[in-house]
Chains A and B, each alone.
Chain A
Amino acid sequence: MKKTYRMLTLSLGVLLSVASTGARSQVTLNVISGGSQNMVDYVTDYLGPLFEKQNPGVKVAVVGVGPDDAGSQKILEKLQAQKAQPQWDVDVIVPNQQKTGEMAQAGLLMKYRDSIATGKYAVSQSSKLALGVNVDGYVMPMFESQTAMAYNPDLVKSPPSSYDELRVWTAKNPKQFGYNGLKNGMSGVAFVVGWMYAYSGNAAALQQGPYDAATKAGWSKAYADLKAFNQGVTFTPGNAGTLDMLNRGEIAMGPVWVDMFYTWKADGRLSPNLKLKLLSPGMPGQPYYYAIPAKAKNAELAKKFIALATSPQVQADGIVKRFNWYPGIDPNAVKSSLDPKAWANLFTDISPADLAKNAKPFPIAPFFTELREGYEKQVGN
């Protein structure tokens, strides 16, 4: 018995000392990604190893908390929980727009952009405003993503190019258009937002503000039309669900994320003949951000990490080439780092001119909440 005890203590001691020496020789950079699995893979497979190679002794540990508001909400709650601590155990976060705005307002983020070399490339509107909240200086966009209508050209010869045409088309082809409602992923939310931009009559105010509590009173007609429209559509289970149903031929058309569409196609998970179209007067897209928590333990290292992630070369190789996202930083800086063919691939179905005209941001936060609740009340319930 005594012997077993001694052995146990000994092995425990060895274990502990191994663990502590391991910790001493290595710094771990903790990254939390509030994105889909592909965004976690991006750090595990590409960015992390690249950074570790350039910085010996550093280990990049990434955790994925899931996409959309749900995932980023977990990051927000984690930071809030350790707010009183002198040092936080998260170094780099990748939150979505809505929650980044909330974190900036709650004082949970560090103002770091101007202290890194690539800060000058943050030129997009979304690098300054996140759904109407000022995040200028607190974030670097990781990439820009966009929703668009995916369709099967075998079934749809001349796809609708606007919401008006889509309504006519759906009336003629009931149940052939599918989307994932409001609670099953952002591509469905994006479709609803695009609908409201087309029919609420105040698209510009929704996107730029100012917020006015009286605005929502004028939305009932748009919702009533959407409710009638919903009678003739198929509901799909999620962002991936829409792509699955398109692929199985159960629907002929549906809103999807452009990056997901291209990635699935490249992986052979989608029929190669499916195509994309950006509806006018516009469908929303969103960036994901790199941010540093206000009291991150390894803040300097985090800055270095983000500087690498937002360098033109990494944006070209990682973001555009490998993952089919639109670059987060100034596209002109990225373009010169890419071969013309890879650059053109990004715009196969949707031209830069289409993007300039019909790619919209999501509404500013208070309108966005009201818009979704309005849907729940007047369309869903």
Chain B
Amino acid sequence: MPIALLSPALLMVGLLFVYPLLFSLAYAFRNEATGAWGLVNFEKAFELYSNDILYTVFILVLATVLTGLFAVAIGGYLTLGENRRTVAILRWLYRWPLFIPMVVAGQLMRTFLAKNGMLNNGLMSLGLIEPINAVSMLDWRGVVITFVWKQLPFAALLISGAMASMDRSMIESARNLGASRFHALVEIVIPQVKASIAVSLILSFVTMLSALSVPMMVIAGSPTMITVDMAWRVNSYSDYGVANALGFISCAMSGVVAWFYLRQSVREQSRIVAK
């Protein structure tokens, strides 16, 4: 009976998600021209896009690390902050980018970060930079800024939630014994919410990995991220093979991250059991 109740959901997931996923993973190994199976698509993917693959990894790692740092800082301040008003303002403010779609974020940044965009114009009118020194940030920096800006509220929401549900007595005793707020954050709070930090960062990593609109709108020229290359292969050459191979590579990237996460949670599980 439970199976019968589950079957519509299972069928849906199976037909609309698992089947196309396996199909595209498998067809990454197929040579469309000859109909043979092999690594041709991967050879071409590396031959044409090896720089882009490294570039993607670099952007994602940097953006994930920065997201983590800022999210912990926000969560930490919400948990440990002593000025009620600033905590309230921060709590109200930090979630805003959550409601802005990726493509809109990309569009915003495209005009914000341009050479004569709002950021540089602001800095110029404040006298902080000379017009001649203004540089466009429409490259990896722009993408990292957009990703961090977009993913930060999501990560901070999860992390500050976990921090808020912690037992506060330990924080308070540490503070009573003279630990600074920074010490309390690093030594008491973070170790207890490690799992939430990991989950939020893994989900952020995967979201950023799949974003097409942001690199497409923000990065000018090459190298670019592999999602753009996948769209390009399909649109310009009708070449699903290499696009699938690139998709396989991005699945592998998120697979590595997921593996770290699983290993971590298995270890924690066994530690609890051992206790």
Q: Residues on A close to B: CB < 8 A? A: 68-70, 73, 76, 102, 180-184, 230, 234-238, 241, 244-245, 248-250, 369, 372-373, 376-377, 380-381
New A-B contacts (19) at CB < 8 Å, excluding given A237-B217, A369-B237: A69-B235, A69-B236, A70-B235, A73-B234, A73-B238, A180-B221, A181-B222, A183-B222, A183-B229, A184-B216, A236-B220, A236-B221, A237-B219, A237-B220, A248-B115, A250-B136, A380-B48, A381-B49, A381-B52
Q: Collect the chain B residues with CB atoms within 8 Å of residue A237's CB.
A: 110, 138, 217-220
**Residues 208-242 (chain B) with a chain A CB within 8 angstroms:** 216-224, 228-229, 231-232, 234-238
Whether B50 is near chain A, meaning CB under 8 Å from some CB there, is: yes
Top 10 nearest A-B pairs (CB, nearest first) are: A235-B221, A70-B235, A235-B220, A181-B221, A380-B222, A237-B220, A248-B116, A250-B115, A376-B48, A69-B236
Which of A68, A73, A184, A380 is in CB contact (< 8 Å) with B220? A184
A320 to chain B, nearest CB (A): 30
Tell me which of A70, A235, A381 contacts B50 (CB under 8 A): A381
Question: How far is A70 from B238 in the complex, measured between Cα atoms in Å?
Answer: 9
Which residues of chain A are within 8 angstroms of B237 by Cβ–Cβ distance? 369, 372-373
Q: Once the chains are docked, how many angstroms separate the CA of A76 from the CA of B238?
A: 10
Q: How far is the CB of B9 from chain A (nearest CB, A)?
A: 27
Cβ–Cβ < 8 Å partners of B114 in chain A: 244-245, 248, 250
A377 touches B220 (CB 8 A): no
Task: Decide if B115 touches A245 in the complex (CB within 8 Å).
Answer: yes
The answer to whether B222 touches A73 (Cβ under 8 A) is no
Give residues of chain B (39-61) contacting chain A, Cβ–Cβ below 8 Å.
47-52
Instruction: List, in ascending order, chain B residues with CB within 8 A of A230's CB.
Output: 221
* Residues on the A chain within 8 Å of B47, using CB: 377, 381
Chain B min CB distance to A287 (Å)? 18
Q: Is there contact, CB below 8 Å, between B48 and A183?
A: no
A70 touches B231 (CB 8 A): yes
Measured between beta carbons, the chain A residues less than 8 angstroms from B221 are 180-181, 184, 230, 235-236
- Asked if B231 and A249 sit within 8 Å, CB to CB, the answer is no
Residues of A within 8 A of B218 (CB): 237
In the assembled complex, which residues on chain B have CB atoms less than 8 Å from the CB atom of A181?
A: 220-222
Contacting residues, chain B, for A376 (C-beta < 8 A): 48-49, 222
For the complex, what is the distance from the CA of A235 to the CA of B136, rounded to whole Å? 10
Q: Smallest Cβ distance from B105 to chain A, in angstroms? A: 15
CA A245 – CA B117 in complex, angstroms? 10
Q: Write 11 A-B pairs (CB below 8 A) sorted by A numbering.
A: A73-B238, A181-B222, A183-B224, A235-B221, A236-B220, A237-B219, A250-B114, A373-B237, A377-B47, A380-B223, A381-B222
Q: Bound complex: CA of A376 vs CA of B115, how far in Å?
A: 26
- Which chain A residue shows the least CB distance to B235? A70
Closest to A251 in B: B115
Contacts of A377 in B (CB 8 A): 47-48
**What 0/1 readout, one digit per residue, does chain B (222-266) give for beta carbons within 8 Å of chain A?**
111000110110111110000000000000000000000000000
* Distance, CA A184 to CA B232, complexed state (A): 9
- Which of B48, B116, B228, B235 is close to A73, meaning CB atoms less than 8 Å apart? B235
Q: How far is the CA of A293 from the CA of B219 in the complex (A)?
A: 37
| B232 CB, nearest partner CB in chain A, Å | 5
Closest Cβ of chain A to B93, distance in Å, is 29
- Chain B residues within an 8 Å CB radius of A241: 110, 220
CA distance A234 to B115 in the complex (A): 11
CA distance A245 to B136 in the complex (A): 11
